Amino acid sequence: MLTGATGMVGQAFLLQRGEHPVHALVRSPDGRDWGDGVHVVRGDLHGIPDALFPPYPYVVLHLATKQRDTDGTGYERTNVDGTRRLLSRLTGDCRGVLFGSSMSVYGAGPHRGVKEDHPLRPVTALARSRVEAEAVITEHAVRTGLHAALIRTRFLLGRGDRFVLPAMVKLLRRGVQMGSDTVGCSVIDVDDLGRILWRLARRMVETPRPEQQAFNAAYTRPLLRGEFLGTVARGLGLPDATVKVRAPAWLPRALREVPSRRARALSERLELLTQSQCLDVSRLAAVLGPEDLLARSPVDALRSALNDFRS
């Protein structure tokens, strides 16, 4: 059962489903070809029809979270209250819940090899809502005997990316590089993430003893800023950056204290672009096994994403 089916990760998950049937909660399903085996149910987290729940054992992939507060109403209603409503409706056939979270729950960087047991210190309203949603899911899973997997990613590449690669291309076209060549970031192609989510869902069905844990999801090796921009410049025929912008660690922290929405947004952007954002993924690698997808070169994944960007 899938929420957030129209988003970048939801679409990748559906592309990787093979013959598996999926029940998908969608607010506006019109105008899309969902393909055979996808049972589309119109609704949202505050209005969930009974038809959403399969009449056989199932796993929930919960991706329907609010990512941007464009209407100024905050994140609580969707990300926290909506998650509670979803959990309250799960039937006895549910085996577990996978939740699409984010590295932002760890707080301000720089982060170099941060593990899942790192203290959660969210600094933005969105990140705080993710921490609350994670806690709600974990508490429900422990109380009811369900599996729970909290999937924490940093940067997603590939089909449907409207933020990461477009932002880097925009900067390169201006001749600007944010951060030094050695700044690292954890990335993963969204199709690889879709494959990982399917493996974790299958594991929930096959593992009798319920587990509740977080998983960092990214390639084992981070993508360095010099590699990132050099690959993009060569792939798109753009000149190398002529201006390299660095920011001292205290500057984003100081901007967060300014009572201005624009200053806080600038603070977050500086942290993401000028400080390392690297995850330790050894826990997920151990679960996926010897043929894990995490060993893929992040540069190779970026080249593949450039093909999608060109088209």
pLDDT single digits (tens) 156-185: 999 999 999 998 999 899 998 888 889 999
Contacts of 261 (CB under 8 A, 6+ apart): none
| 189 within 8 A of 304, measured Cβ to Cβ | yes
Cis peptide before 110 (omega within 30 of 0): yes
Instruction: Return the beta strands (E) in 56-183 as ranges.
Output: 58-62, 94-102, 111-114, 147-153, 155-157, 176-178
Contact 62, 1 (CB under 8 A): no
Residue 69: its pLDDT value, please?
87
Question: What is the spatial distance between Cα 122 and Cα 103, in angstroms, rounded to a whole number?
Answer: 9
pLDDT at 70 (0 to 100): 85
Structure tokens at 131: 């921490």
Residue 290's pLDDT is: 66
The residues, any chain, with a CB within 8 Å of residue 87's CB and separated by 6 or more, are 97, 136, 137, 140
List, as own/partner pairs, every contact residues 292-299 make where C-beta atoms lie below 8 angstroms and the sequence separation is at least 24, other chains included.
293/192, 293/195, 293/196, 294/188, 294/218, 294/219, 294/220, 295/219, 295/220, 296/189, 296/192, 296/219, 297/219, 297/221, 298/187, 298/219, 298/221, 298/222, 298/223, 298/227, 299/223, 299/227, 299/231
CATH class of 2-310: alpha beta
* Domain layout of the chain by residue ranges: 2-310
Ranges of the chain whose pLDDT falls below 70: 290-291
